[in-house]
Amino acid sequence: MKKLIFTMLLLPFFAAAQQSYTLTGKLSELKTPAKAYIAFLKNGSWKETDSTTIKNGSFTFKGSLDEPQNVIVAVRPINAKQASANRDYIGFILENSKVTLTGKDGIANASVNGSKAEDENKEREATIRPLTNKIIALQNKYGKKNKDGEYEFALEQRKKAGDSISTLVAEIKKINTSFAETHLNSYAGLLAYNYYVL
């Protein structure tokens, strides 16, 4: 029910949005002949829906969306085996606007400009990143085992680390909840609510 109410609050935002997108990629130092591919999440799996040849480091995708969506754009050398070329990709939120991906010889570290939803999502991620880094550090330290498969830290120490992780997880949920509540007209707010609050 909460999800339905939250989605209904966003309906005016979606209705007023621009009805099409132009996604432009600019890779200034790409020398190898390559193609760009765009994939959308459908029924729980990623589906490539379009591809285009990259010319002079540039490519363009055009289309329209009913609402902003998570997408993946991948760059693969022409005639390369797909499995070995899947490392060069970027995921972001695409919306009906003019969006630009700007990189050098690959797409993975490209900057994304023109998507308000992506900007807001990055804002949320930047806020919680220090907390997630602390969780990872605690897991790496207190989850270590020796060559005999035994934990390096005593049970009591691991329990304290676990309690600290639980506290950090609760802080992250609090941040995500606050973000969702203060971004009611934002797709990024809806994502935060659906994935991290419910």
For residue range 13-50, list pLDDT tens digits in order: 444 445 899 999 999 999 999 999 999 988 889 999 99
pLDDT recorded at residue 14: 47
Q: Taking all residues of the chain, what is their mean pLDDT, rounded to a whole number?
A: 89
The structure tokens listed for 2 are 């909460």
- 3-state secondary structure at position 75: strand
5 confidence band (pLDDT: 50, 70, 90): very low
pLDDT, average across residues 64-90: 83
Query: E strands within 28-115?
Result: 34-42, 45-53, 58-63, 69-77, 89-94, 98-103, 111-113
Query: Cα–Cα distance between 11 and 94 in angstroms, integer?
Result: 17
pLDDT recorded at residue 81: 64
pLDDT recorded at residue 39: 96
Residue 3 has pLDDT above 70, yes or no: no
pLDDT recorded at residue 195: 80
For residue range 105-154, list pLDDT tens digits in order: 999 999 999 999 999 999 999 999 999 999 999 999 999 999 999 999 99
